[in-house]
Amino acid sequence: MASATRPATVRERVADSDRSVGRLLLLSVGALFWSWLVVSWVNRWLGGVLVPVGQPLLPPGAVEATVAAVPGLAAYAADAAFVVDLTPELARGTWLTVVITAVSLVFGFFIAVPLAVSRVYGRFSAWLSLAYTELLRGTPLLAQLFVLYYGLNLASYVPGAFSGVFVRDVVWVAILGFTLNGAAYQAEYIRGALESVEEGQITAGRAIGLSKLETIYHVVLPQGLRYAIPSWTNEFVYLIKYSSLAAFITVPELYYRADQVASETFRYTLIFVVTGVTYLALVLTASKLMERVEERVAIPGLGVEREE
Amino acid sequence: MSDDDFLRVTDVSKWYGDEQVLNEVSFEMNRGDVTVLIGPSGSGKSTMLRCVNRLAEAQEGSIRLDGEEVLSPDLDVNALRREVGMVFQGFNLFAHLTAVGNVALGPRRVLGLSEAEARDRAEAQLERVGLGEQFDSYPAELSGGQQQRVGIARALAMQPKLMLFDEPTSALDPELIGEVLEVMHGLVDEGMTMLVVTHEMSFAREVADEIVFLDDGHVIERGPPEQLFENPEEDRTGRFLERIASHD
Ligand SMILES: Nc1ncnc2c1ncn2[C@@H]1O[C@H](COP(=O)(O)OP(=O)(O)OP(=O)(O)O)[C@@H](O)[C@H]1O
Ligand SMILES: [Mg+2]
């Protein structure tokens, strides 16, 4: 809670303004990043209404001239132009990275909840759930993707309704792989949170005549899922980064496109620094977003007591 | 005892593993009676209560409630629990729901009332326990006494024919005990049938029709409060009551 009292000492006041300057900076960088992405995507979907498809939003030549005009930055002008030239490819790859992550995360969640519930409250199903999570968490994700793509050749079985939604049908294979794998990790986090719901909550639910499943649905899950948010956010962040493994089964997401340009231009360092920063921006967005969600759904009087 | 006993517990025994926690416990209540279970820690009071609404399973004996065998394997336990309210020592309020949400959940999800009907009923029950101002407060925002009154309202909202209280005031600061006992007094006056575990001896003395003294899973002695408090037949009863009295 922000208190209404003014910070007493100068040091505190400086610290206070630092924090808000930092926040403001982060917010504006974030806004810039997402505007660039969204405008690039919309431009492509609408067939190049702002700039021709494949062209950067800002002309590289103009950027180069501007940077060159700044004293001391002249040496970097060419690099800046190169990065600007790169942005259409980055934006395009980021789109798939975002979609694959978001879709897999949501699908995975709906598998993870029953897995976690079975694990905590089931008998036979607890063993099934355990076997599933151990298998998927105990083997390399890349190996799982290879089994789905090369081994089972699933890309050629994508149902008609789904086929053609993405640039390549293999995107569905990646989504399937990340969904199945992510579900196992999400289930572990949710299981831990369910176990932290007090036994008395279940007793009380049963005592008013709710069945075991009804008690889980109406009492345990609403609490457990709230408690799971901080650790679940980890899985969100991991998935953003691990989604780069999709490049190895030819999904043209962010990493794949960066790698392609790099192997054509040999500007590995510059390209992967820029790519890394893009991933970082996605990760920061995700964790800030989940922080907001956590605050929004916090139970009054309980929970999120962040230090200031 | 006669067949019209409302609750008849006969020779109920229960084991946890090898440990016998209830040993041929018997007592009975008529409709509108208040029976108070007393006994030292670990004597099986909570277990006895929980056998009545099948939160614990008695292995032997019989519990008949309003003519129906509670221990029958064919019994629909959720239907039983609809009719038997329970109040817990630790309140056990649903932490994510407001006071109204706590009380309305049973009527809504178990009795199938509409959202609006369930809310109306919840508000009426909260008024009944003196919480007309706290409808939208969350448990963590309420005092212990208020939480326990929500707990009572939650049980009452199911319109139970029997109420079980397991040490409803033991977790409360002394100054908050009164408000909960007052609500319980009100229920007694309304003729609610109540089976109560408590260490509040003045409450027991005032409202109980019968006191059952449990020790080590056995019913040591039972009778009307005057008899138990003034002339206990068993030494153990007297010593227990003295010990309780010296704590007050
Ligand atoms: N779920 C359980 N599993 C194993 N043993 C249990 C369980 N519940 C209770 N017991 C044991 O059964 C005995 C009776 O417990 P119970 O809770 O009924 O006593 P109580 O009279 O309510 O005591 P208190 O006054 O401390 O609440 C105790 O020895 C206790 O350790
Ligand atoms: Mg007890």
Complex-level ipTM? 0.92
Q: How many helices (DSSP H) and strands (DSSP E) are in chain A?
A: 11, 0
CB contact under 8 A, A208 and B140: no
Residue of B47, B75, B109, B136 for testing the chain A interface, max A β-carbons within 10 Å: B109
Which residues lie below 8 Å from residue A45, measured CB to CB, with a gap of 6+?
none
Q: What is the pTM of this model?
A: 0.87
Phi, psi angle pair for B59, to nearest 5°: -85, -25
Residue of B96, B105, B147 for testing the chain A interface, max A β-carbons within 10 Å: B96
pLDDT for the residue A6: 44
pLDDT value at B2 more than 90:
no
pLDDT tens per residue, range A73-124: 888 888 888 888 888 999 999 999 999 999 999 999 999 999 999 999 999 9
Task: Give the CA count within 13 Å in the CB-facing half-sphere of B10.
Answer: 15
Domain B7-247 has CATH 3.40.50.300: yes
Q: Is B45 helix (H, G, I), strand (E, B) or coil?
A: helix
pLDDT for the residue A139: 93
* Interface membership of A201 toward B (CB under 8 Å): yes
Ligand 1 atom closest to residue B45's alpha carbon, by position in its atom list:
21
Question: What are the residue ranges spanned by the domains of chain B?
Answer: 7-247
> For residue B10, which of B61, B46, B82 has the smallest C-alpha distance?
B61
> For residue A174, which of A146, A134, A202 has the smallest C-alpha distance?
A146
How many angstroms does the Cα of residue B41 sit away from the middle of ligand 2?
A: 7
* Domains of chain A as residue ranges with CATH: 78-297 (1.10.3720.10)
Q: How confident is the model at residue B3 (pLDDT cuts 50, 70, 90)?
A: very low
The ligand placed nearest to the CA atom of residue B38 is: 1
Task: Give the CA count within 13 Å in the CB-facing half-sphere of B139.
Answer: 20
Mean pLDDT across chain A: 87
With the most atoms of ligand 1 within 8 angstroms of its CB, the residue from B21, B53, B57 to mutate is B21
| Residue B54 neighbours by CB distance under 10 Å | 19
Q: Å from A226 to nearest chain B CA?
A: 9
* Interface membership of A297 toward B (CB under 8 Å): no
Distance, CA of B242 to CA of A233 (rounded, Å): 57
Which residues lie below 8 Å from residue B151, measured CB to CB, with a gap of 6+?
B87, B88, B91, B92, B93, B168
Which tokens belong to A262?
């790099």
- Pocket-forming residues, ligand 1, beta carbon under 6 Å: B 16, 21, 39, 41-47
Nearest residue (by CA) to ligand 1, atom 16, is: B44
Which tokens belong to B155?
């049980």
Q: How confident is the model at residue A48 (pLDDT cuts 50, 70, 90)?
A: confident
Which tokens belong to B180?
């909960």
pLDDT for the residue B60: 96
pLDDT tens per residue, range A142-181: 999 899 888 887 777 777 777 777 777 888 999 999 999 9
How many angstroms does the Cα of residue A64 sit away from the middle of ligand 1?
A: 78
With the most atoms of ligand 1 within 8 angstroms of its CB, the residue from B12, B16, B41, B165 to mutate is B16
Task: List the single range of A167-171, B151-155, B209-213 with lowest mean pLDDT.
Answer: A167-171
pLDDT tens per residue, range A246-261: 999 998 999 999 999 8
pLDDT for the residue B40: 94
Nearest residue (by CA) to ligand 1, atom 29, is: B42
Q: Are B60 and B13 in contact (CB under 8 A)?
A: yes
Which is more confident, A217 or A83? A217
Q: How confident is the model at residue B6 (pLDDT cuts 50, 70, 90)?
A: very high
How many angstroms does the Cα of residue A200 sit away from the middle of ligand 1?
A: 15
> For residue B5, which of B27, B36, B24 has the smallest C-alpha distance?
B27
CA distances from A154 to A102, A158, A174 (A): 21, 7, 10
Distance, CA of A89 to CA of A262 (rounded, Å): 12
Distance, CA of A281 to CA of A37 (rounded, Å): 11
pLDDT value at A280 more than 50:
yes
pLDDT value at A1 more than 50:
no
